[in-house]
Chain A
Amino acid sequence: MHRHTLARSGAAVVAGAVLLAGCSGSSDDGATEGADAPACAPSEGPVELTYTGWVPGMEDAVALWNEANPDIQVTYNTGPSGNAGTYQDFFNQLEAGQAPDLGQIEFDTLPNFRVQDGLVNIADCEGVLEAGDQFVDWTWQQVTFGEEGSVFAIPQDTGPMAMFYRADLFEEAGIDVPTTWDEYADAAAAIRDEGAYITHFPRTDVNWFAGLVWQAEGRWFENDGEQWTVDLTGPQSTEVADYWQGLIDEGLVKDTAGFSDEWNNELNTGELWTWVSAVWGSNSISSGAPDTAGDWAVAPMPQWEPGADAAGNWGGSSVAVLKGTDHPYEAAQFALWLNTSEESLTALNEGGGLYPATTAGLELPALKEGLEFYGDQPIFDVFAEAAAATDPSFTWGPTMAQTYNDVADGFGAALSGSGTLLEALQAGQDATIRTLESQSIPVAE
């Protein structure tokens, strides 16, 4: 029943999708989609699959599979990262019936593909449901949408969050490394007295902010199967927004854009002392601030409740079987192997720095070693704990790219002193509700 409603709204969404307006021929009947997942049977004879993503080094893992499975050959294509073009390509290709068999989709975009009816439910494919308990809790929630008997993608990697900090500078200045957000604010003031900043507030990385709300157990979206609830300004979101608004008002955080040259330079010169970020951020720092090698360390995210261990997540992808494939069974087998087998996860970690979404994957030898850049600290242990402590029930909305854009506009205004972060969230919420309504996606008032 639930899926039936979603599929119907999905068809309506396709008709309204920005670029495809007027080209929609896919008013697919919700009936085939509705009651049960289609049976998933192996194809006869040799099978060729196509797979599109943007993980560097993916070719190596695919080559391993192709060698071991002469009858199921996978061709991998690298595209631009999702929101930079590959998602739009997927939507175009779905429309034309030309989509690849498998596609990389970030967790925050899965609902978008779901409501636009682009995903195949692979729950009935051999081994898929059983694989659920191999994955970190929250990732499995994301790909099943919390529904019985449905699996719409296989989790690939995650971005558990922790705090990178300049261990040397904290020690020199005699400032304690913060463990709670209150202490973090105190440290921010102390660091400002040293002439530096504790961190930057990135105006465009709204998904970073979402990670902080996630840690505080806020919920931006909920879907009861009938309609969506949009709540960017709930109590937890408000608390997080007010907290950072306070730091901004007192001039304790820099307004540099994340990942910019300026930001790299500020990291490199010691102007920024911490960055609460995801596991993949370790690479951003070591690459952008090479002069600070050995000076950084990683601690768990500061907590709202002293002694708690809540963590957020920023980023992470899944591999979905896309509508129109002739070989869902083989595609699902490949996706499972790719994201659970040790040889594949090792190759992906080496080649693309992927942080696995399986619990066993977090024990890879490469993720147990100390990193020279981080003073030989085995930093991944911190992230493994964060992954386990990430709230599983956070849900993304069906139009996140739009939501991010609208909130980012407001964040920019807040940083330049006109408006607040909370107003930005409110504006983002209003815009999101308008967008959902314009796409005939049911929204709860």
Chain B
Amino acid sequence: MSILTRTDGYGPTTARDGGKVRERPMSRLVAFVIMGAFTLYFLVPIWWLAVASTKSRGQFSSTAGLWFADFHLWDNLTYLFTYDGGVYLRWLGNAVLYAGVGAVLGTLLASMCGYALAKYAFRGRDLLFNIILGGVLVPVTALALPLFLIFSAVDMTNTYWSVFLPSLVSPFGVYLARIYAAASVPDELLEAARLDGSGEVRTFFTVSVRLMAPALVTIFLFQFVTIWNNFFLPLVMLSDDKLYPVTLGLYAWNSQTNAVPELRTAVIVGAFVAIVPLILAFLGLQRFWRGGLAAGGVKA
């Protein structure tokens, strides 16, 4: 809004042809149409998924994809949660464990690291930071196979740790924490804390963490989503299906649908159920998240 009003006042160009009055609602309309189109574009697949998970197997392929047929959601859910001894619930639990605990610890590590880089001067600081920045550029998928060989060397493949430990690392989180700590934790405050006799660790946890809270939430969310969606690492590391996260479990099911067509239902409903935790995490933390992004972005 403010941007639009400002351009209005500026331009002899926009004032020409009496465009002043007409352009304002026009550009608003255009903005809304574009936003609406994209909203629709992003929401249609979720809508399709929601609708598809209420359909019985027969109607799934024989009725229109975007509208409901007979309501079978409860049957489908029962099938999903009882198939193969209820392994789906276990996968969901695993994913929450990998992503939840991993994201909390990952956030802690990243924030401490970023904070240290921002607030303590030491030799090689910039070099260290640049190396970490370089880490942002390396896609996690490319690391899966080297990680597999490393974990094999210490006999730790196919364990909870083989997926959990690599998930703790977040170069992007360190970057964000450093930017945010530099911007939002005043040196004077740290100085005051030191004068009052607070140790560095205590200062970090009682003062700095609170100031950095929006950034921490951002890092947590990013990390949570990254781990939740990291599919290739578990695929390479795990062979025991009891350790699978939900993404890999659904993928394994989906790869068997040629032989066991009934599984399609489970895959679809399972995919639908699996996005619920992500939606909850986003809705719950959305407020902080927006604040965090803006602050990081502006100061960067």
Contact = CB atoms under 8 A, between A and B. Distances in A.
B272 interface: no
B235 A287 contact: no
A50 B259 CA distance: 23
A56 B261 CA distance: 12
Contacts of B251: 80, 84-85
Given A79-B241, A284-B261, A290-B57, A19 B62 contact: no
B236 A89 contact: yes
B14 interface: no
B255 A352 contact: no
Interface string B243-280: 00000100110011111111000000000000000000
Given A80-B251, A92-B148, A290 B58 contact: yes
Contacts of A93: 152, 157, 239
Contacts of A280: 258-259
A261 B61 CA distance: 5
A53 to B, nearest CB: 11
A262 B58 CA distance: 12
Nearest to A77: B239
A92 B149 CA distance: 8
Interface in A258-295: 259, 261-262, 264-265, 268-269, 280, 283-284, 287-288, 290-291
A264 B239 CA distance: 32
A265 B255 contact: no
Contacts, number: 95
Interface string B31-65: 00000000000000000000000000110111000
Contacts of A77: 239-241
Given A80-B251, A81-B256, A259-B258, A268 B62 contact: yes
Interface in B63-110: 84
Contacts of B152: 93, 96-98
Interface string A85-106: 1001100110111101000000
A23 interface: yes
- Please report whether the interface of chain B is mostly helix, strand, loop or mixed according to DSSP: helix
B261 A287 contact: yes
A404 interface: no
Nearest to B244: A78
Interface size class of B (residues with CB under 8 A): 20 to 34
Contacts of A288: 61, 261
Nearest to A98: B152
A71 B231 CA distance: 36
A92 B150 CA distance: 12
A257 to B, nearest CB: 12
A92 B145 contact: yes
Nearest to A288: B261
A291 to B, nearest CB: 6
A209 to B, nearest CB: 16
Interface in B121-165: 145, 148-149, 152-153, 157-158
Nearest to B239: A77
A268 B61 contact: yes
Interface in B163-209: none
A80 B260 contact: no
B259 A269 contact: no
- Specify which of A20, A96, A353 lies most central, judged by the most chain B CB atoms within 10 Å of its CB: A96
Contacts of A20: 145
Given A96-B157, A265-B61, A353 B260 contact: yes
A54 interface: yes
A80 B259 contact: no
A269 B261 CA distance: 18
A56 B239 contact: no
B62 A269 contact: yes
A432 interface: no
A88 B144 CA distance: 13
A283 B241 contact: no
A80 B257 CA distance: 11
A97 B154 CA distance: 12
A317 to B, nearest CB: 10
Contact of A283 (B60, B145, B259): B259
Nearest to B242: A77
A233 interface: no
Contacts of A98: 152, 157-158
A84 B262 CA distance: 19
Contact of A352 (B58, B258, B259): B259
A142 interface: no
Contacts of B256: 54, 56, 80-81
Interface in A57-80: 77-80
Contact of A261 (B60, B148, B240, B241): B60
B261 A80 contact: no
A52 interface: yes
A259 B260 CA distance: 11
A80 B255 contact: yes
B62 A291 contact: yes
Nearest to B251: A80
Given A96-B149, A261-B60, A280-B259, A54 B252 contact: yes
Interface in A380-410: none
Contacts of A81: 252, 255-256, 258-259
A79 B260 CA distance: 14
A374 to B, nearest CB: 16
A84 B267 CA distance: 15
A78 B244 CA distance: 10
Contacts of A287: 57, 261-262
A290 B262 CA distance: 11
B58 A78 contact: no
A81 B236 CA distance: 14
Given A80-B235, A89-B236, A283-B261, A54 B148 contact: no
Contact of B259 (A56, A79, A265): A56
Contacts of B62: 264-265, 268-269, 291
A89 B235 contact: yes
16 contacts: A23-B149, A54-B255, A55-B259, A56-B260, A77-B240, A80-B252, A89-B239, A92-B149, A93-B157, A93-B239, A96-B148, A268-B61, A283-B260, A284-B258, A288-B261, A352-B260
Given A55-B259, A93-B152, A283-B261, 18 more contacts: A50-B239, A56-B84, A56-B260, A77-B241, A81-B259, A89-B239, A92-B148, A92-B236, A95-B149, A98-B152, A100-B239, A268-B61, A283-B260, A284-B261, A287-B57, A290-B58, A352-B260, A353-B260
Q: Closest 3 CB pairs between A and B?
A: A287-B261, A96-B152, A84-B255
